[in-house]
Structure 1
């Protein structure tokens, strides 16, 4: 009796393709149980530390943003589409909307923008206070790293908008 017959069966009974598929399944099961790899959160370190995060908001369209966003209010933080906890608005600083106006002597001045549509576009810098896990790569809020340039979404009872991180400070 031959090892392989003309139809590719071992000893005339089992297909060689079935044997190959069975070996692949056994290797996968072996790999899962004996080499599971790394697991767990990236934020498995010490206890949470207080941090301050400065974010800049550009062109927020709202008729009265000062009634929506107030110092001392709580806001939900969403980083990379993942809920990342809650923060307190420590400082809310509204920035003026200026335009550069050339002067007759060749110099320029920054003057308030006279266009009516600009009154609905608001710029501000917000300082958020929260607690974050510390890793070797920096603070982590809700499993997401927070660094300068990270886009953070702020979600409150009457607003939801995106901001960009411009500063991260860890309290001692």
Structure 2
């Protein structure tokens, strides 16, 4: 009796291709469940060299639609603590120290062809606000930047701010050690 017959079967019963497929499936299962992977611990995120301290984050928010922008800015200036979500992962809480409204300008063409910036006269502007938020919280300083709740936060990172009254996103424009 041959080990492999003319049809590619092992001992006339099992196909070699089927055995190869079963071996690949077993290797994948072993790779997923038995071989340990990265756990995302703080030591891995920070490179093992970090120091805990207060971190100040500046965030720019563009076009936040609200019923009254003045009330929203006043509410955010009341030292509000917000939940922060970074890359769809909860990243702890930050304290909003200040909210500074940015004026809405439009380009206005002059009769001589020049262009100047003028405050937007439209009434709808009261329902949309651009602002810069300054927030502080606990974080770590590393050789690679700042880490807040196991999430690297750098200029350009999008943060989602959430509390019972609002949920909106902004982009980090500065991260420093808090003074």
TM-score using structure 1 length = 0.79
Closer, same or farther: CA 137–115 of 1 in aligned 2, 3 Å? same
Compute the RMSD of aligned alpha carbons.
Answer: 3.0
Q: 1:122 corresponds to which residue?
A: 129
Aligned-residue offset at 1:23? 3.6
Do the aligned partners of 1:101 and 1:108 also contact (CA within 8 Å) in 2? yes
C-alpha offsets along residues 71-127 of structure 1, whole Å, 9 cap, x if unaligned?
421011111222111000112212223345566788766443221111222121110
Equivalences for residues 61-140 of structure 1 within 5 A: 61-62=65-66, 63=68, 64-101=71-108, 110-140=117-147
Q: 2:60 corresponds to which residue?
A: 56
Do the aligned partners of 1:43 and 1:133 also contact (CA within 8 Å) in 2? no
Closer, same or farther: CA 25–87 of 1 in aligned 2, 3 Å? same
Distance 1:23 1:103 in 2: 75
Q: 1:9 corresponds to which residue?
A: 9
Do the aligned partners of 2:4 and 2:12 also contact (CA within 8 Å) in 1? yes
SS at 1:114 equivalent: coil
Do the aligned partners of 1:151 and 1:163 also contact (CA within 8 Å) in 2? yes
Unaligned runs of 5+ residues in structure 1 are: none
SS at 2:136 equivalent: strand
Aligned-residue offset at 1:130? 1.0
SS at 1:76 equivalent: strand
Aligned-residue offset at 1:153? 1.1
Q: How many residues align?
A: 172
TM-score using structure 2 length = 0.76
Distance 2:87 2:108 in 1: 39
Distance 2:170 2:82 in 1: 13
Unaligned runs of 5+ residues in structure 2 are: none
Do the aligned partners of 1:149 and 1:165 also contact (CA within 8 Å) in 2? yes
